[in-house]
Amino acid sequence: MKDYLPRPDLLAGRVILVTGASSGLGRAASLAYARHGATVALLARDAAKLDAVYDEIVAAGGPEPAMFPYDLAAADDRSLETLAGTIAYHLKRLDGVLHSAHQFYSLTPLELQTLEQWQTLMRVNLIAPFALTRACLPLLKESPDASVIFTGETHGHQPAAYWGGYSVAKSGLETLTRIWTDEFSSDEHLRFNTLIPGQVSTTLRSRTHPGLAPETLPSVDDLMPCYLYLMGADSLAVRGQIVECQT
């Protein structure tokens, strides 16, 4: 999959919502989706950083994106339904969602992690992706080919010491993927998968592995063939899978 060569118009005419779009993998995916023809709905907490991504897309000649400054830690059903309604009103359709937003504190033993930290970790990394997907389902079901991608984590797939609540939340996305897939097994036009990026040069990776030199790791752009493949029609038959990007 990392050698996948997407055609230039792979996502032409599609509308794709990307959370965590202001930085890291979410930003890179937003730029890649726009380069391949998609109108991207950019969602993140930091409006200034969203402006920068918006400007990059427009400067590169991509379709004009939409911006949604939104804090997933404060999400509730009403505001998410309003968000989905705004997308429907302004963009008229929704053909994909990339859940790239995340919350992380630090690598610490479970005995030092607090209830408040776990509540935030679960809310942003697991509950919000579920609730946002649920709110967007009416739009996604109207698409002729819709893809929902949850961003997993290596230590959610293979738990390890000190990853705590972050690992538990990310492992939950794999279960969520399989449940959504089972519930929509008869719908050939809507699919759900979890993508595990693996080690990549991001701010998060520098915090969890400070001893790794960034130049020794794949860049976020190196992973974009995986993100494009799972979002485009070439992966129509890939459903309910836990995809490790660098295998």
Q: What is the CATH number of the domain that holds 22?
A: 3.40.50.720
Q: What is the pLDDT of residue 28?
A: 96
CB 58 within 8 A of CB 64: yes
Domain for residue 98, yes or no? yes
Q: What is the pLDDT of residue 154?
A: 85
Domain for residue 75, yes or no? yes
Domain for residue 9, yes or no? no
Domain for residue 1, yes or no? no
CB atoms within 10 A of CB 85: 13
Domain for residue 151, yes or no? yes
Q: What is the pLDDT of residue 75?
A: 95
Does 238 score more than 70 pLDDT? yes
Between 206 and 155, the higher pLDDT residue: 155
State the burial class of residue 244 (Cβ atoms within 10 Å of its Cβ: 0-12, 13-18, 19+): middle
Summarize the confidence of residues 22-47 as an average pLDDT. 97
Number of domains the chain is built from: 1
Q: How far apart are CA 199 and CA 181, in angstroms?
A: 27
Q: What is the pLDDT of residue 220?
A: 86
Q: What is the pLDDT of residue 245?
A: 86
Summarize the confidence of residues 192-210 as an average pLDDT. 70
Q: What is the pLDDT of residue 138?
A: 97
pTM: 0.93
- Residue range(s) defining the domain that contains residue 222: 15-119+127-244
- The string of pLDDT tens digits covering residues 83-109 is 999 999 999 999 999 999 999 998 999
Q: What is the pLDDT of residue 246?
A: 74
Q: What is the pLDDT of residue 206?
A: 47
Does 204 score more than 70 pLDDT? no
Distances (CA, A) of 159 to 17, 165, 190, 217: 29, 10, 29, 21
Among 1-5, 47-51, 145-149, the least confident range: 1-5
Q: Kindly list the catalytic residues.
A: 166
Collapsed DSSP state (helix, strand, coil) of residue 118: helix
Domain for residue 181, yes or no? yes
Domain for residue 7, yes or no? no
CB atoms within 10 A of CB 93: 16
Q: What is the pLDDT of residue 213?
A: 53
Q: What is the pLDDT of residue 117?
A: 96
